[in-house]
Structure 1
Amino acid sequence: MTEITGSTPDSTAAPAAGSAAASMPEWEKRFRAPRVSLPDWAEDAPERALFVSNATGTYELYAWDRATGEQRQATDRPNGTTDGVLSLDGEWIWWFSDTDGDEFGVWMRQRFAAGADGAGDEPAVPGLGPSYPAGLALGRDGTAVVGRSTDEDGSTLHVVRPGEEPVEIYRHRESAGVGDLSHDGSLLAIEHTEHGDAMHSAVRVLRLDGSVVAQLDDTEGGTRELGLEVLGFAPVEGDSRLLIGHQRRGRWEPVVWNPLTGEETDLAIELPGDVNAEWYPDGSGLLVAHSFEARSELWRYDFAKSALIQVETPAGTVSGATARPDGSVEYLWSSAARPPEVRSTAGGVVLNPPGPAAPGSVPVEDAWVEGPGGRVHALVQRPEGEGPFPTVFEIHGGPTWHDSDAFAAGPAAWVDHGFAVVRVNYRGSTGYGREWTDALKHRVGLIELEDIAAVREWAVDSGLADPAKLVLAGGSWGGYLTLLGLGTQPDAWSVGLAAVPVADYVTAYHDEMEALKAMDRTLLGGTPEEVPERFAASSPLTYVDDVRAPVYISAGVNDPRCPIRQVENYVDRLAARGAVHEVYRYDAGHGSLVVEERIKQVRLELEFAVKHLGVGAR
């Protein structure tokens, strides 16, 4: 056994320059290349924007005055900051302050304009203690609605008016969160799971005194597996319409609902796959994001014409988009071969990060494989040369997520080292309809691994993958599936690489944040005490003695999602039987926002795989 301890590097360290930069491997350049998120803008001051960048080597929030071009770093913390929002008037930046990535903390705020009176960070809501965040909505009169989650109180929502103490207006043991405030600040939309199904929310609209205005609940008290989500109130004065996402036709799509009248407007957007939407700033239409078979595109839905008009974007993935007051659309785009850019339909790149661009990578190929639950979609990247190749099955987290034709530095690093990379959108993944996502029940983990096994068989039979050099890898839920797969399919895998995994499901349940406990109860049908056989069947710890492949595990010591104690239980069992393994612990939460730390983790994974597979390093 090898144990490695991590420390957070200096977040102000600049990327290597000169000859050192020239000799840097391409895969490291991809991680070090500065990136920016899609800028968020203040609704009543659209020239004031907020974005996230890794320009200093750590992901932090940046304020951008688009009128003057001035940019400044707004946060600076050793483990990074990514959760922030602008007040509607653009005067304040709210950001969430936790401790070393543990996701438990308080909202802080600072003036947007550097050097203004009162500049500097201050508690945004002095009367509220630390919690896990459960949404935030800011009103035009300075009112805020803050969602909180704690193990002791469950979910609570609080109205905070300027100069007054916070007032609790909602409390429930099950998960709930803030959706949006109406334009005039009189109505609050929330999502809740009081029916006990954490995978399918209902929507309720409240007054700010907590009184109920209206409710939509497609679950029928938990007897029907249909969910709703809040997409936002109409952004114009006097308009109480609320945009809701629903699953009534077997996929996500929008409907317009007026909670004051009960009227629903079915848009009947006939596009395959999942459809999301947000309002155009004048309320005349919707910006529609369409996701289908691991790609995405944008459309405008025009209310006056009841028509869809395509918004031209390149082939690949749009990771975020926003309609601007002038009618243009800004969007964050990438493909597996090309790094991300913030583009505009008005032309050109909106926001260029400083420094050299990330090197490109190879495009993805689509593979469709017949699995036990239907056709499984996988994305494949091949290195140069002829197969069969050593192959990494890089399994996505979530599980309610999906891999797409988007730029990812991790898979590209494996390709650079001569590995093929296969990413599987197993049952439980989003983007393939409600039935595919909701198939993940009771036999949790085992269902996903059946789909991964089918794709593995295809990869070997097609000549892509060398059956003696197969790596099962992933982070979070992907790390969980890695450990579970090594134990339940011990002959299938040559090496396992598990980052921030669930390793001991029972202990993980008792130690994780309350919202994830609710999700686990939904997935497995109860608590470990109520359905012990299901937790045992889905726990990697149950099968640890069957693991034969060398195992590499990395874990954040402050992780609230996959807590460290349950990882240590699994590692202790590996050590007791003398299994080949390495463990890397680092001082952060569910992953790291520090670029050098992430590079270190990828390097350790590469070295471990190369050593145990006997393939040549590059």
Structure 2
Amino acid sequence: MSDPSTVPALPLAVTARWQARFRAPRVSLPDWAEEAPHRNVYSSDVSGVVEQYAWDRSTDEHRPVTDRPNGTLISTLSPDGGTIWWFADTDGDEFGVWMTQPFPGGEDTVAVPEVGAAYPAGLEVGRSLVAIGRSTDDGSELWLAPHGGTPRVIYRHADPASVDALTRDDELLVVSHSEHGDPRYPALRVLRTAGTTEDSPAVVTEKWDGEGLGLHALEFAPLPGDRRLLVGHERRGREELLIWDVEAGTETELVLDLPGDVTAGWYPDGTALLVGHDHAARTELYRYDLATGVLEKLDTPPGVVRGATARPDGTVELAWSNSELPPVIRRADGPVVLSVADEDPPAAYPVEDRWVPGPGGDIHALLVRPAGRGGPAGPFATAFLVHGGPEAADDDSYRARRAAYVDAGYAVVHVNYRGSTGYGSAWRDALTGRPGLTELEDIGAVHDALVAEGVVDPRRTLLTGGSWGGFLTLLGLGTQPERWTAGIAEVPVADYLAAYEDEMEGLRAYDRALFGGSPAEVRDVYVRSSPITYADAVAAPVLVVAGANDPRCPIRQIDNYLGRLEELGKEHEVYRFDAGHGSLVIEETIRQVEVALDFALRHVRP
């Protein structure tokens, strides 16, 4: 492999531009304490590594909470703002314990030592207790730890479960579970925290919509004694809202005249909801008045909102970007709330929408033409950047990786294949029983349509993605060898039988639901969807990027695939890094993009 420190085929100015987008410091939407809203925590990569920061708005003092070689991804605040909770894993392996630190600073302490290390499965910090969810290879455990009391297990099951919501007075706890066997469609159970134990749960009520219909507890109303729970449901084939009074046993569906999926959070006075509406790769925000039923659109520019919150003073803060303009934390009425950058990173490139007929219905794709080429001319060398998930979607947000490929001279195509979210429940669930091959049919249909349109040069096509997108890349190289000139698979599933053996239990449960059983039950389905099955048909050179500590796409199954390519004499390269399912270290991310661009430019010339 050539030296990844630079990409010799690119002018230095181009390299500097795409790297500047990655190095520009970013921040997450601040999380604030319910009883002390001036006390906030947020994530930022201002140090070059994603870490957690405390922000006192009354003094505008910012300070780092964590400082670890491979970064820290999660934190939250106690309701009084006195304590920061953050999750400590080991080098990105996602397995660890919750730590606490005083908001003003001080010593880190293991929050509840009795709970032990695990994968996180929800955390609710109350005023008198904390509820902690944990997942291991043995299944799920949910704990209650009263402040100053003895922690106890209140729930244990072999299938996934999580801690979801706690009333403001700490009396009721909502947990989600998959005792019915499918974690993709969770059920909800409300427990009374006083006296509940694993052997004698104090169940208040339960709700499950049945097979193929998930329920998601969003949050309780933010008022003392209020038992209204905001819930996401999909009874009409898309994500919608209802309010469930868990003590009265009543529910009210909120039927909003919006075409896409919706989610929401409470305004702090409990009289209205802040509604997020996702449709066709873009986000809108609304205020919904519960007394009048009036839905008022907030004046946010076209683009994507990664998170939004209503503050006690009634203002709305949000994390926003679009494909051209970088992320910003701003108020809905315009002013910037929080920034850690001295200057904005370079602008990126607008996306064009395409709707392409496919075997399961119209497929939404996003297209970016090469920088500086102008007009509708083509065909272009094209990089198909495939999203992970699969329950995710590509959208009109600022993406440094997308812009790097465009800077290098490629057209870029994103495909929101069957399995993607934001296009209804049936679209999301269409890959059940045939994962991988279903999505690739849609990617192939978009490929063919853009070739026919004269945008894509069929002799110069790159297939690339990370996680599930990496899985689709390797599977596509083996099942559609005629389409692809080269492939770059980052942290992929490569040998599904071995991946199932080594991955975290929560993902094994997800796979059982997706494939229709375990490999012992439906081995042929796993084999049919496994990239290693088709290694002998791979005709294009392939680069694999792998994390040594990855719990989601473990390293052994990647090594199995690489070994098979070696046996077959297939052209391949590998880049390994010492972290988990991706890296929180910005320079490491840049190195990975350098390696990918170097490989792409050698095999698919713009």
Taking structure 2 as the reference length, the TM-score comes to 0.96
Partner of 1:569: 560
Q: Distance in 1 between matches of 2:174 and 2:300?
A: 32
Whether the 8 Å contact between 1:64 and 1:71 is mirrored in structure 2 is yes
Matches within 5 A, 1:410-559: 410-559=401-550
Please say if residues 36 and 54 of structure 1, whose CA atoms lie closer than 8 Å, have aligned partners that are also in contact: yes
User: Is residue 2:321 matched to residue 1:330?
Assistant: no
Residues 1:201 and 2:186 aligned together: yes
Q: Deviations over 1:256-293 (max 9, x none)?
A: 00111111012111210100001111101100000001
Q: Percent identity?
A: 56
Three-state SS of the structure 1 residue aligned to 2:598 is helix
Cα drift, residue 23 of structure 1 = 8.5
Amino acid at match of 2:414: R
Cα distance in 1 between the residues matched to 2:253 and 2:484: 48
Structure 2 counterpart SS, 1:332: strand
In the alignment, which residue of structure 2 is the partner of 1:234?
A: 221
Match of 1:121 in 2: 108
Contact 1:5–1:585 under 8 Å retained in 2: no
2:189 counterpart letter in structure 1:
R
CA displacement 1:367-387 (0-9 Å, x = unmatched): 000000000000111112231
C-alpha change, 1:241 and 1:120, in structure 2 (3 Å) is same
Q: Which residue of 1 aligns with 2:380?
A: 389
Mapped contact 2:282–2:304 kept (Cα < 8 A): yes
Over 3 Å counting, the alpha-carbon distance change for 1:467 and 1:24 in structure 2 is closer
Q: After superposition, what is the alpha-carbon deviation per residue over 1:284-322, rounded to whole angstroms, capped at 9, x for unaligned?
A: 110000000100100011011111111110001111100
- 1:278-427 alignment runs, 5 A limit: 278-383=265-370, 384-385=372-373, 386-427=377-418
What CA distance in whole angstroms lies between the structure 1 residues aligned with 2:118 and 2:56?
31
CA shift for structure 1 position 3: 11
The answer to whether structure 1 residue 607 and structure 2 residue 598 are counterparts is yes
Equivalent AA in structure 2 for residue 365 of structure 1: E
Matched, 1:212 2:199: no
Query: In structure 2, how many angstroms separate the alpha carbons of the residues matched to 1:603 and 1:60?
Result: 24
Confirm or deny that 1:277 pairs with 2:268. Answer: no
* Amino acid paired to 1:596: E
- Give the alignment partner of residue 147 of structure 2, picking from 154, 158, 162: 162
Distance in 1 between residues matched to 2:386 and 2:96, nearest whole Å: 30
Query: Which residue is equivalent to 2:9?
Result: none
Q: Distance in 1 between matches of 2:388 and 2:15?
A: 29
State how far apart, in whole Å, the 2-side matches of 1:530 and 1:345 are: 51
SS of alignment partner, residue 357 of structure 2: strand
**In structure 1, the residue corresponding to 2:510 is in which secondary structure?**
helix
Alignment deviations for residues 65-84 of structure 1 (CA, whole Å, 9 cap, x no partner): 01110000110000000111
Correspondence for 1:11: none
Contact 1:145–1:160, Cα closer than 8 Å, also in 2: yes
- Other-structure match for 2:173: 188
CA–CA distance in structure 1, aligned partners of residues 538 and 254 of structure 2 = 51
Contact 1:133 1:148 in 2 (8 A): yes
Kept after mapping to 2: 8 A contact 1:4/1:584: no
- Measured in 1, the distance between the counterparts of 2:184 and 2:328 equals 32
**In structure 1, distance between residues paired with 2:517 and 2:571:** 34
Are the structure 2 counterparts of residues 613 and 354 from structure 1 closer, same or farther at C-alpha, using a change threshold of 3 Å?
closer
Shift of 1:540: 0.3
**What are the Cα deviations for residues 326-347 of structure 1, in whole angstroms up to 9, with x where unaligned?**
1110000000011011110354
Q: Which amino acid aligns with 1:228?
A: L
Cα gap change, 1:23/1:432 in structure 2, threshold over 3 Å: closer, same or farther? closer
Q: 1:5 to 1:97 in 2, by over 3 A?
A: farther
Separation in 1, partners of 2:2, 2:225: 61
* Residues in 1 aligned to 2:130 and 2:47: alpha-carbon distance in whole angstroms: 31
**Per-residue deviation, 1:121:** 0.6
Give the partner amino acid of 2:170.
G
Q: What amino acid does structure 1 have at the position aligned with 2:282?
A: R
Measure the CA separation in 1 of the matches of 2:342 and 2:90: 30
SS in 2 for 1:529: helix
How far apart are residue 171 of structure 1 and its match? 0.7
Residue in 2 aligned with 1:72? 63
- In structure 2, the CA distance between the partners of 1:479 and 1:450, relative to structure 1 (3 Å rule), is same
Following the alignment from structure 2 to structure 1, what is the Cα–Cα distance between the partners of residues 226 and 261? 27
Report the alpha carbon displacement of residue 100 of structure 1 after superposing the two structures with TM.
0.5
| In 2: Cα distance, 1:556 partner to 1:4 partner | 19
Residue 166 of structure 1: how far off its partner (Å) = 1.5
Cα deviation, 1:352-380, whole Å, max 9, x if unaligned, reads 12332111111000000000000000011
Q: Could you list the per-position Cα deviations for residues 460-489 of structure 1 after superposition, in whole angstroms to 9, with x for gaps in the alignment?
A: 111111111100000000000000000000
One-letter amino acid of the counterpart of residue 131, structure 1: A
Distance (whole Å) between structure 1 residues aligned to residue 538 and residue 252 of structure 2: 54
The whole-number CA distance in structure 1 between the counterparts of 2:537 and 2:51 is 43
Cα distance in structure 1, aligned partners of 2:521 and 2:3: 38
8 Å CA contact 2:14–2:408 kept in 1: the answer is no
Alpha-carbon spacing, 1:566–1:22, altered in 2? closer, same or farther (3 Å): closer
Runs ≥4 residues deviating over 3 A? 2-6, 21-24
Consecutive unaligned residues in structure 1, runs of 5 or more = 7-20
TM-score by length of 1: 0.94
The superposition leaves residues 221-255 of structure 1 with CA deviations (integer Å, 9 ceiling, x where unpaired) of xxx21111011001001211101000011100110
Residue matched to 2:131: 145
Query: Quick check: 1:42 aligned with 2:28?
Result: no
Distance in 2, Cα, partners of 1:345 & 1:443: 42
Task: Give the RMSD, CA atoms, in angstroms.
Answer: 1.5
How far apart, in 2, do the equivalents of 1:100 and 1:212 lie? 39
Q: Report 1:62-141 matches (<5 A).
A: 62-114=53-105, 119-141=106-128
Aligned equivalents of 2:405 and 2:527: distance in 1?
A: 33
- 1:248 corresponds to: 235
Q: Compare 226-235 and 155-164 and name the one that shifted more.
A: 155-164
Cα displacement string for residues 67-115 of structure 1 (whole angstroms, at most 9, x for unaligned residues): 110000110000000111111110111000000000000000100113x
Q: Is the 8 A contact 1:104 1:133 kept in 2?
A: yes
Task: Tell me the distance in 1 between the aligned counterparts of 2:429 and 2:215.
Answer: 14
Contact 2:135 2:141 in 1 (8 A): yes
**Cα 1:184–1:3, aligned 2, differ >3 Å: closer, same or farther?**
farther
Which 5+ residue runs of structure 2 have no aligned equivalent? 6-11
Q: 1:23 to 1:524 in 2, by over 3 A?
A: closer
Given that residues 4 and 594 in structure 2 are in contact (C-alpha distance below 8 angstroms), is that contact kept between their aligned partners in structure 1? no
In structure 1, how many angstroms separate the alpha carbons of the residues matched to 2:459 and 2:78? 55
Q: CA deviation at 1:128?
A: 1.6
Q: Distance in 1 between matches of 2:14 and 2:521?
A: 57
What is the letter of the counterpart of residue 337 of structure 2? V
Bigger shift: residues 198-207 or 492-501? 198-207
Q: Which of 156, 179, 204 is equivalent to 2:164?
A: 179
Give, in whole Å, the separation in 1 of the partners of 2:327 and 2:349: 14
- Aligned with 2:38: secondary structure? strand
The answer to whether the 8 A contact 1:300-1:308 is kept is: yes
